[in-house]
């Protein structure tokens, strides 16, 4: 039986977290350095952006956890450490300084950065802040850690669930940052997940790689794939369950719990998109293939015209059909149906590829809610997919018009 619990990355046994202001960001009221630490060695797995321009921390983390193990995660906000001549040196020095203070190997550190691209990152505030960061490690430190990785986010993003594996109660929790520059082709933004379940590195990697195809790969805010996207998972085994080393029933339960965490984080990220007022969820059913279902769902959620219509609570279903038409999926237009749904109700707007009579007043009421479902039935098979996004508002342009300055 799985249930949602409090605690985020500190819900799992043996994990501590902290977040401080070290001086990277000018605003002293904003934390800009976060740490997650396990009392025991962890299996580790991660996925990274496929943007050819990558932040230096990604290359360092990839090397560090190539053996499948890690023990700590350190992340700064306010500076992406990307396109810097000494970026790798700064990332490696961060790992070395932290590891020295914690008494662990630098190779057991996941390092990440987020913020402005191309701005030199001085190691000094990080080096000077690490002792305080370590001293503030706490079982109740998830809130501060979640805050320390935020950039244009307006809300902290954290979640945790409890589940059973091998007769033991296990927990898995995560934090995320992400509000703009989100259109991943592997994972998304920065997401750090911890679990006290015992999972082998191979099975952890398999579970994460399989999960992101239906979660973080189905999330888009603005069509821009970040240079620093990373999702990392650490499993320390302190729940006491038998090691999950094959695709058995315990693996299935772990994968289900992981998915509960990642879906929740996807929804939080989409709802907090830059300038967003509404969470959009496109649910595609009746597809002939899984690939077609995913293509259609993501094409709809990425449509700037559809996103703008949702901002204005305009039931312009033609924009849904348009996005389906250029998705690249093989579809029969004459079998497509579209409906809009929210807490205020549901309304059918298209059947068999053509419009149906509907109340504009009711449609407006439905679309004025802050969570909107766009329901697409392709009428061609039994495959389905879900994608997440947000509306496109005036504030998105305002935020990004002076993001650097």
Q: What angle do CA 230, 234, 240 make, to 5 degrees?
A: 160
141: left (phi over 0), alpha (psi -120 to 50) or beta: alpha
Confidence grade of residue 180 (pLDDT, cut at 50, 70, 90): low
pLDDT digits (tens, 9 = 90+) for 272-283: 887 889 999 999
pLDDT at 188: 44
pLDDT for the residue numbered 46: 96
How far apart (Å, rounded) are the C-alpha atoms in residues 341 and 345?
6
- pLDDT recorded at residue 389: 93
pLDDT single digits (tens) 39-80: 999 999 999 987 777 889 999 999 999 999 999 999 999 999
The share of the chain scoring above pLDDT 70, in percent, equals: 95
**Whole-number pLDDT of residue 167:** 95
DSSP 8-class letter at 243: P
Q: CA-CA distance, 215 to 159, in Å (whole number)?
A: 15
Active-site residue identified among 82, 114, 188, 194: 188
Q: Is pLDDT at 377 greater than 50 in this prediction?
A: yes
Residue 12 banded pLDDT, cuts 50, 70, 90: very high
**What contacts 335, CB < 8 A, 6 or more positions away?**
286, 352, 353, 378, 379, 380
188 as an active site residue: the answer is yes
Inform me whether the pLDDT recorded for 184 exceeds 80. Answer: no
Contact of 126 with 94, CB cutoff 8 Å: yes
Domains of the chain and any CATH numbers = 3-271 (3.60.70.12), 279-401 (3.10.20.340)
With CA atoms as reference, report the closest residue to 229 among 241, 217, 238.
217
Model confidence at 186, in pLDDT bands (50, 70, 90)? very low
Confidence (pLDDT) at 178: 79
What is the rounded average pLDDT of the residues 95-123?
A: 95
| Predicted confidence (pLDDT) at residue 170 exceeds the cutoff of 70 | yes
């Amino acid at each position: 039986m799985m249930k949602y619990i409090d605690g985020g990355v500190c819900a799992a046994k043996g994990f501590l977290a902290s977040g401080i202001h070290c001086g990277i960001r000018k605003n002293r009221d904003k934390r800009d350095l976060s740490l997650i630490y396990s009392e025991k060695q962890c299996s580790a797995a991660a996925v990274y952006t496929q943007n050819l321009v990558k932040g230096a921390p990604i290359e360092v983390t990839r090397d560090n956890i190539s053996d499948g193990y890690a023990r700590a995660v350190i992340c700064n906000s306010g500076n992406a450490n990307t396109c810097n001549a000494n970026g790798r040196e700064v990332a490696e020095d961060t790992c070395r300084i932290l590891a020295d203070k914690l008494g662990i190997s630098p190779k057991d550190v996941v390092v990440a950065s987020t913020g402005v691209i191309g701005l030199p990152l001085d190691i000094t505030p990080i080096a000077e802040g690490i002792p305080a960061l370590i001293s503030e490690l706490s079982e109740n430190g998830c809130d501060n850690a979640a805050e320390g990785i935020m950039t244009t986010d307006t809300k902290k993003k954290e979640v945790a669930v409890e589940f059973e594996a091998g007769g033991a109660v296990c927990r898995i929790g995560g934090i995320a940052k992400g509000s703009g520059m989100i259109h991943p082709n592997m994972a998304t933004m920065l997401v750090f997940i911890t679990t006290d379940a015992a999972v082998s590195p191979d099975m952890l990697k398999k579970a994460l790689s399989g999960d992101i195809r239906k979660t973080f790969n189905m999330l888009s805010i603005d069509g821009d794939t970040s240079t620093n996207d990373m999702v990392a998972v650490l499993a320390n085994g302190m729940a006491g369950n038998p090691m999950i080393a094959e695709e058995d029933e315990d693996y299935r339960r772990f994968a289900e719990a992981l998915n509960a965490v990642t879906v929740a984080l996807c929804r939080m990220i989409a709802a907090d998109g830059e300038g967003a007022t509404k969470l959009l969820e496109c649910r595609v059913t009746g597809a002939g293939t899984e690939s077609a279902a995913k293509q259609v769902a993501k094409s709809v959620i990425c449509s700037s015209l559809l996103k703008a219509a949702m901002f204005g609570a305009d039931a312009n279903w033609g924009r849904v059909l348009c996005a389906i038409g250029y998705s690249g999926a093989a579809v029969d237009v004459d079998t497509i149906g579209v409906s809009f749904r929210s807490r205020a109700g549901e309304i059918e707007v298209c059947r068999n590829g053509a419009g149906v009579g509907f109340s504009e007043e009711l449609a407006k009421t439905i679309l004025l809610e802050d969570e909107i479902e766009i329901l697409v039935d392709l009428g061609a098979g039994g495959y389905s997919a879900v994608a997440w996004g947000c509306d496109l508002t005036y504030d998105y342009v305002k935020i990004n018009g002076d993001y650097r300055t």
